[in-house]
Structure 1
Amino acid sequence: MKHHSHSPRIGAQYIRSLLSYLVVLAIPLVLLISFYSFRFLSKYYDEVYETVDLELQQISSNFENQLSTMESILGQLSLSGSLQQITDSATVLDLEPMIQYLSIFTSTNPFFADVILVLDHIPYVVTSSTTSEETYFFKTLLRLEGVSPSELQQSFRRPDRSFQSNAFLQNRSLNNRTEAGSLFMFPIFSDYNKRLGSLVFHIKEANLAQLIGQRLESYQARVSIATSDGHVLFSQGPELDPQTKQLTRSYCSGRWVYTAVIPDSLATFAQVRTLIREFILIILVILIISGVLIAILQRINYRPMHLLNVRARQLNPAAEGRDELNNISSTLEFLSTQLQCNIEAVKNERIIRLLSSLYASKEDFNMDCIDLDLELTEDRYQVSIVLFHEPIPTIADVVSMLRTFFHPISFFYAQHSFSANQLVLLYTLTDDQSISLQYLEDARKLIETTFKSTVTIGFGTLVTSTSTIADSYLQAASALEHRFIKGNSTTIGFKDIEPLQKGSPTYPHKEFELLNNAFLAQGIQEIRESIKRVIDYIDHTELPLYLVRSICFDLVHMVNAHNPTQSRDFIELSGGETAQEIIAKIKTWHDELQIQMRTGDGPTIEEMISYLDENALRCDFSVFEVAEYFGMNLSTFSKYFKSLTNQNVIDYTLTYRISAAKLLLETTDFSLKDIAEKVGYYNLSSFTRRFKSDQGITPSEYRRLKEQRRL
């Protein structure tokens, strides 16, 4: 037997189980990581978006408040009457009151860097700090990138409101410093809707930048204010790389759009991602540690399966794969098949004994087969032998078909180990049932049609006791031998060939008559000499094979009829292929018979009990086996055993088995199926039935009762 190491070897089931546990562990952890990472990051981004939106709304509110202030100043100027005075002025000195008027607005509102008044009918420009000629103002004091002085001057005369960004105004009141900013231009109309000029507000970029809150600055946001048609008024903040990921939020209010662009690589975001990575790393470490612990525990828990796998590979040579479950499963199927084969083999052996007339009565047979679901209920029997000339089909299929065909007639079937192409059928018939030769011929044709095989059937006569079943069997065998005369693919009854067989001039009628007389006279020496004369006759006479076999059958049958023995060789005579083989078998049988006829006194009670105790717990044990061992037939042995022990042999066997079962139930944790096999029962149902019949409770109830008493 191939040697297998008992040290655990990693197999497919171990790997599958380990991976299953790891997957079960990993899935919730991955979901946990994904869920909380997403939720945390999403929540943080939502907070950032909410803050940015609020900041943009605040910028919008502040900016539009300043626009409202500009419109209010324009309204005040129009209503004050000052414009009419300026229009009538002829000199610069006359514009001094307007300068003071405009300076009020710049001094009270730091948001305005300067307020500029340009009238269409005077050649001067008035600011909150000075007055200058219009031409000089646009050429020297005010510049607009990309726009010529004349174009800039012309833009101040537009009839609608407008603004200009990137405007540079020189403030001579502040050391002539030039200040960049944006211009907001509002046209001035008279009561009669006549354009009088423009009021322009110069807003420094620094003042616009003050609109941006500190939170946006902390986000390193680039904030812009633009019109709805995309013309940018103001943009403040660090320049962003267009290749980097950016977060953009916008807020619309009227004609203005406020936009904040935040770099996704912001340090705050990076910190959040670092925290998430640390969280993921911790979970992974937990997963690895848990995986190692699972692997160790799985290794420990795997050992019983490994031992089962090792045992399975020892019991089943075909279980050599890496998959332990497949090995164990295939071994269980293998053992189940072996067990079933063993049961069928035991049943087959009992039926062969029945065919050999080794049971004196049907009661003896039923007692010997008490746990095999074999039982004789009738006293009329008939035997046929089905010979397959091609490889025999599946016996189960043939038997199943024949059971349907012969219904309601029941039968037992058997196969000889020496003649696997023969199927022996033993019919058990009620008083109103019979089997005709034509009935068997129809069955033969059905077998040939169904299984595409050439079939010949030999058929014996009806007998009325188990002690004469062998007669019907021998007749069926003799009938089958006549296929060499009648041909294959036929159904041959013994009644058809009996006149030919007995009427043969070479049949030893005289020798058989002398043997019968010797048995009647009960002379041992005469019996021996008569048997030897029959054997010498077939040994020294040229006889056909079927006649040699028939004479040998008749010889064994006559001996068994007068002096039952335990030999089954007369059945095995049907397996001989030549006359010489059959003669050799009958000589061996004769030698064994001589030994049996010299046997002295019967066995002692100690010898019988010892043999029973040693063998009664085997599943294939039979009381017939005991009788055979001590050289008796079953009926004689049963009477002999009871005379010495005042107990039937089968009762002793059952009591011994139940006692052994009770001991195992009390002292071990074996399964009920294992206990059943250990005390001689192939199947659990038979064991349970016998145990309850003897004890009044089932084995499981008995075990539970004993455990409760111990507690």
Structure 2
Amino acid sequence: MPKLKSHLFISYIASYLLVLFLPLVVINGLFSQRFILAYRNEINSKVQADLAQLAAAIDRELETMSQTASEIRLTMDLPAFSFLGDPLASRDAISRLSAYRTTNPLIEEVVLYPAQDDFAVASSSSCRKDLLVNQLLRSPRLSADQLRKLLETVEVPTALSHVEWKGTPGYLCMVYPIRTDYQTLAGSCLFLLPEASLSRLLEEKMGNYSASTYVLDRDGRPLFSSFALDSLSPDALAQGEALPEGRVVVDGEPYFAGSVQSGLLEWQYISLVPENQQLFQQLHTVSRELVLTTLLVVLAAGALIFVLMRVNYTPIRRLKEKALRIAHEEPAPHRSELDLISVALDTLSSRNLEMAERLESNAATIQNIYLQRLLAGRYATHLDFNRAAAECGLALKSEWYFAASVRVTPPETNLEVFAEQLQKALAPQMECCYIFTLEPGRILTVNGIRQDQQSEIGELYEQARARLSRRMELSVTVGLGSVGRETAGLPRSMMEAGQALDYRFVCGNDRTISIGELSLPGTPARYPHRQFEKLRNALQAGNEPETTAAVEQIMQYLESSNLPLFTAKNVCFELLNTFSRQLRPDDGLRCEAENSLLSLSSLDTAQDVLALVRELRKNLNKTSAPPSDRRGTETLISEMVEYVDQNCLRCDFSLQEMSERFNMLLPNLSQFFKDKTGQNLLDYSTSLRMNRACKLLVETQLPLKELGYQVGYYNVSSFIRRFKQTQGVTPGDYRRMYSTQQDPVGF
């Protein structure tokens, strides 16, 4: 290979290197991961074991304190103890407490708090109880009264952390109840343990890990800790982000977490070992070195693969030259060998497919042509058709035939699949051949059937239609033509099928309509003039019951009279038009009704028209109610007169605006105003304008254009024409005639 410009050559080398590289990387990664994971598990195991030993050691100390409290109960008669009454007994108690403190290095002070005496006894002295709880012993989370109540009513061993003893903070106070033989509370025994000593005990066990160790009571409150960091408190630990393998992240730093709960007082011991120890860093360094070694091995193997590929590439280059000759293409630097070979194979495959499509297309086209000729009446019998269509494999066997017209919604449905399914559904009962039409969503079928099955045609087609509608989730409507002997009657049957399908406007979609359901040709159908006249009168009068009755009569006539399609659409057209004329021009339902009038064919059924009419009627009931239903007549007419007086001089004033203001149809508004005032609404507003114009003509010297604008006319010509109609003279003549008069002569 003289030049290494082949994309295939480079891709092969890259794939071989990838096959070599991936296993090595996966193996190294798994090895490093398993090794580090094993070490982490070992650390976790040791941390857990040491925490368990630590918990056991502290439990032993606590158990010793509990036994000490029991010995005090056995050796001292606390119910009868009185410091003032028997000083010698008190001195003996101090000696005993001092001995207990001396034998346990963790305990710095032991205090006996009798329930029946006013004095408390310590290992070094005695004092009054009030002095003890108010000054000597203080707890950051308990007041003096709360502390006294705890010492006098303690039921179970209780730990108080961070207490202050004789002014020195940093003590853990353990309070144990002392009971009599009858289990009544005789007092309590307090053991004061320096938190520094307890922290040293934690450090002895967990210091090798540089761990931060915390001891929490049963309620989750911290008691004491070791190596506690400012940013790593028990509260921060509780809010830390948990990770797998016993790890937590606190303040962005990863730690190994160990936790043990003691069985004595249910204390929880938590230890956090930082991951950034030196040994972990060494492990990561070894992992990086292993990855680098892997890369070097891959590079060396890649060089060897490169040499071997140059030797093995020769047969592929020769195959490329043959592919170029087949595809009749010039070599291109951006085309790989496999691309050229694929092009050559595609060329051969496309030639084969083209030939197969030509054969199939010719066969389908020829079949469609023969079926169209059949529907056109070219073949008198099915035998004539079979002889003519033998070359394309079409053959009919029945003696009775009919046509069907099928409409499928939505129109973008794959009609070929639907037609095949329809053919299969009808195959057991009848012959069926389908023809696609130019109308979207519509096909024609030629059907052959036995004579004894003629009465079952509608039922068979309805079953197939319903089954396909459910299975394919489509809306399917079928029109059936009449059945005739042999194929000579198919043209007439096809026309009848189209008429039956169009009759869905009256009968509705999603059904099978036979030509027999339609009214016979020439049958006269009376138009419902009387019902429409009744409807118009009811709408004008605003009579809702009569309106409803008239609409129902028209719809009942439409559904029961088997009208021809043209007549049925005319009835629906007039029904929509009658209602739309009663709505205001800006009403949304009127726009909808007008759109339906312009494209009535978009409403598939008369039921759709009825639904729209009912919506129109609801809106009409809201807008055409008589004024007396809404407010008092006198109040309303007064408001109307006042509205005209205040607004008629505006140029943009209109009666339509006023009808919208009072929520009335314009004809109803005009009739109401005339009935109540005896004057036409337009004449009244014009008289107000002319009176104002007469006054301005006499009292001012305004130009006619400005004067007309002030009395509500944009166009001066319109003003002059209206003024002359009402006053008999032009505005200029009027000004000259009455310029000396004080009061204008009005209309």
TM-score (norm 2): 0.40
Quick check: which has more Rg, 1 or 2? 1
